[in-house]
Structure 1
Amino acid sequence: MAIAAVRPAEPADVPEITRVQLATWRTAYAGLLPDEVLSGLDAAGAERAWLHAVTHGPALVFVATEGDWTVGFCAAGPAPEDEVAGADGALPADAATTVLVSALLVEPRWGRRGHGGRLLAAAAHALRDRGATRGVVWVPEADSASLGFYRSVGWEPDGTVRTLDAGGRTLRELRLSGSLELTLRA
């Protein structure tokens, strides 16, 4: 087996980050999102957005590699207030030290090899060093693979749900939350 690693993303990684995002969405979200939404994903726009994220933040971006292949990535950083607020708009006491995992994707053909856990662990470690204590992530309710992954690291739904308009189809997402002191388990 090739050597697996995680490292901070660099501008040269942006084309591969974009490729992984588009390939993963088109595979993992088929059936969750309308075909026209998935086929209409803008690669050039995504690449510009990722280049900005990698070079300017505020999220930290990491890439997972296996041998010479980029197989996944994670972006996480300070959580905007509206991402951590309760349904009533109230902020939790730890809002200032809560981070949002805005993306964690591993290309499906590279799944089940520990890349997701390594990515989340690297992000959690770097963010803990910056004073963060807790993370949140939004996951489509029907995405059992992602829900299972986050539960395997000790993150659980916190009771907050949102419904998005996904190209004329509603997409219900659950907010999961957990400590950045991760417990990785099989």
Structure 2
Amino acid sequence: MTTFQTVLRTANLDDLDAITDLHTQARTAYYQAGGLSVSELVSSEARSRRREAWMRALRADAKTVVCAIGGGEVVGTLAMGPPLEADVDAATVGQLYQIHVRPSRWGQGVGGRLHTAFVQFLRDGSLATGLLEAWEGNSRAQGFYARHGWKPDGHHRPGPGNASYVRLCLDLDPAP
């Protein structure tokens, strides 16, 4: 296995197309592995919607987007910020909106580095809990988050392919 040095940095609008393409590749890989058709995932309309969503995230003051750079290209991305649901206490909870890693870099530690950046985001904000949603058909993500201590909290919402999005929580131990 080839090991690449990966550097994390705050993303900016110059990264928009690279992030959108990476998201499309990762999303296609995990939804296809979960049994969904690829055609909707790679359509120009779907790509345009993803690009617009990333542009909003990059411009939002309350959200943070991080890029993992390896071999001179964006190989991973992380988006995080306050909880999206109004009934969740933003004074104690931060939300991991998305982690995506280029499929050719899966298993090389990029996702782990991005996850560590999210945990640091929680600690920097004195937030005790992380919150995220993962598609239950994405067994790779489910395993990744379980290995990092995330646990389902019982909330679900409908997702594609008759599979739900499962909400997961990470309770941080107090910092030493």
For normalisation by structure 2, the TM-score amounts to 0.85
Q: Which residue of 1 aligns with 2:69?
A: 65
1:111-151, Cα deviation, whole Å (9 max, x unpaired): 11111111121122134212322111111112111011111
Cα distance in structure 2, aligned partners of 1:104 and 1:180 = 19
Q: Which runs of structure 1 show a deviation greater than 6 angstroms over 4 or more consecutive aligned residues?
A: none
Q: Which ranges in structure 1 are unaligned for 5 or more consecutive residues?
A: 86-90
Alignment pair present for 1:116 and 2:118 = no
| 1:69-84 to 2 correspondences below 5 Å | 69-82=73-86
Determine the structure 2 residue equivalent to 1:136: 131
Assess if the C-alpha contact under 8 Å between 2:132 and 2:167 holds in 1.
Answer: yes
Shift of 1:81: 2.8
Q: CA deviation at 1:181?
A: 5.6
Alpha-carbon RMSD:
2.2
Aligned equivalent of 1:171: 163
1:45 aligned to 40, 44, 49, which one?
Answer: 49
CA contact (8 A) 1:75 1:103 kept: yes
Q: Deviations over 1:62-112 (max 9, x none)?
A: 111212121110101100235xx5xxxxx5xx5532122111111111011
1:34 maps to which residue? 37
Once residues 42 and 5 of structure 2 are traced to their aligned partners in structure 1, the CA distance between those partners, rounded to angstroms, is 33
Which structure 2 segments of 5+ residues have no match?
none
Deviations along 1:30-86, whole A, 9 cap, x unmatched?
A: 14433342133532332232122112242211111212121110101100235xx5x
TM-score, normalising length: structure 1: 0.80
